[in-house]
Amino acid sequence: MASESTNTPVWLITGCSTGFGRELAKLVIARGWRLVATARDKSRVADLAEGAEGQVLAVDLDVGKADQIHAAVAAAKKQFGRIDVLVNNAGYGYQSSIEEGEDAEIRAQFDANVFGLFAITRAVLPIMREQRSGHIINITSVAGLIGFPGSGYYAASKHAVEGFSDALLAEVKPLGISVTCVEPGPFRTDWAGRSLRQTPSRIDDYKDTAAKRLESTRQSNGNQAGDPVRAAEAMIALTQKPDAPRHLVLGSWGYDAVVADRQARLKQIEQVRDISTGADFPKE
């Protein structure tokens, strides 16, 4: 195995204990590439490094803790000398109606899904700038492009990452760094199970919107069409493209939903073109 070769790419993946992060980590290792596998408790990813100590570095990383972010990035650079791919995967789902959302839950959601992602990206960028190369993959969601009832705060967190990624790409593309948001639909991970947080909707007016979606999410767990292993393979394929796309929607359901939504939005914008353009000062 070429595990200790200095010519293999170095991946840093957040949230490797379960789901997309773990499947992606396993595939990276199988290819003989080098990996910084992170989890809030590194003992949960220690098995990934067994027998591959020169190839895999397991580190503690809670993306909500600045000291752990800087320590993880420093350890990666010390061990491998570079970071070629950063996968911002750590995060989770929170569901509630907008009206019944709990402030502590909303803030915790943004700390993990948004501010933690921002912080580790900032920490890795100096390394990639020096290299004049790299690929930043932000795992968002179809909910990063479409807001669904019951998922308003989760969608807000993922929309924030999408906007951030647009600006980030504009800044770093001239430096040889790619940025992609991976937008999964329903996949068979822990997102809708152990990792999901919900505030039940008790307002009757939301029984057919937010409450219905909270229930359908719970019921779908374990039966989603999306395969996490195939999703991980798609992410790896993405990094092999010379001109990586800004968006990668994963899963048939997600693809169809996003395409229909974008087409409908464009139609809506075009229907009020005269009102939009009429807001300028009159041309002399």
In sequence order, the β-bridge partners of residue 88 are: 138
Note the pLDDT of residue 3.
39
Distance separating alpha carbons of residues 93 and 110, to the nearest angstrom:
10
Nearest CA among 169, 186, 193 for reference residue 243: 169
pLDDT digit string (tens) for the chain, length 284 residues: 233 456 899 999 999 998 999 999 999 999 999 999 999 999 999 999 998 889 999 999 999 999 999 999 999 999 999 999 999 999 999 999 999 999 999 999 999 999 999 999 999 999 999 999 999 999 999 999 999 999 999 999 999 999 999 999 999 999 999 999 999 998 877 676 677 899 999 999 999 999 999 999 888 777 787 899 999 999 999 999 989 999 999 999 999 999 999 999 999 999 999 999 999 999 88
Multiple choice CATH, 10-278, 3.40.50.200, 3.40.50.360, 3.40.50.720, 3.30.1330.60: 3.40.50.720
Question: Structure tokens of 140?
Answer: 């968002």
* pTM reported for the whole predicted model: 0.94
Note the pLDDT of residue 192.
60
- Report helix, strand or coil for 83: coil
- Set 92, 94, 153, 154: catalytic member: 154
pLDDT digits (tens, 9 = 90+) for 103-161: 999 999 999 999 999 999 999 999 999 999 999 999 999 999 999 999 999 999 999 99
**Cα dihedral across residues 274, 280, 281, 284: positive or negative:** negative
154 as an active site residue: the answer is yes
Burial class of residue 104 (count of CB atoms within 10 Å of its CB; 0-12, 13-18, 19+): exposed
For the chain, give every domain's residue range: 10-278
Distance separating alpha carbons of residues 41 and 17, to the nearest angstrom:
9
Distance separating alpha carbons of residues 226 and 123, to the nearest angstrom:
32
